[in-house]
Amino acid sequence: MGIQDTSRIHWACRRGMLELDIAVRPFFEHEYHTLTDQQKRAFIALLKADDPDLFNWLMGHGQPANRELKEMVDLIRTRNSARGPVAN
């Protein structure tokens, strides 16, 4: 999926865990348009991670080995925190 295919990316944000939906979907809805193309590619790559890994990374229990994915996880956590615990 390409960085401009926002409907497919939005669909990919739907996860099997409510906790991930609460973290990933609001980030996409509020922040995706502000990302650089490189960050958008990293976000899409992050969406390909397994739910347990993504959950652990977003909850601060470990981090991805890939630097760009780690930076994206940090960005999601920072921006979601700035908007509040549940961003709608």
Does 70 map to a domain?
yes
Q: Report how far residue 7's alpha carbon sits from residue 2's, in angstroms, rounded to the nearest whole number.
A: 10
What secondary structure letter does DSSP report for 17?
S
| Start-to-end C-alpha separation, the chain | 25
pTM of the predicted model, to two decimals?
0.89
Does 71 map to a domain?
yes
- Residue 54 sits in which domain range? 6-83
pLDDT, tens digit (0-9, with 9 covering 90-100), for 27-60:
999 999 999 999 999 999 999 999 999 999 999 9
Does 88 map to a domain?
no
The residues, ordered by sequence, that sit 6+ positions from 21 with a Cβ below 8 Å of its Cβ are: 13, 14, 15
* Token couple for 47: 């969406």
pLDDT, tens digit (0-9, with 9 covering 90-100), for 51-60:
999 999 999 9
Domain with residue 55: its CATH number is: 1.10.150.250
Does 52 map to a domain?
yes
Biggest CA pair distance of the chain: 31
Does 46 map to a domain?
yes
The predicted pLDDT at position 16 comes to 86
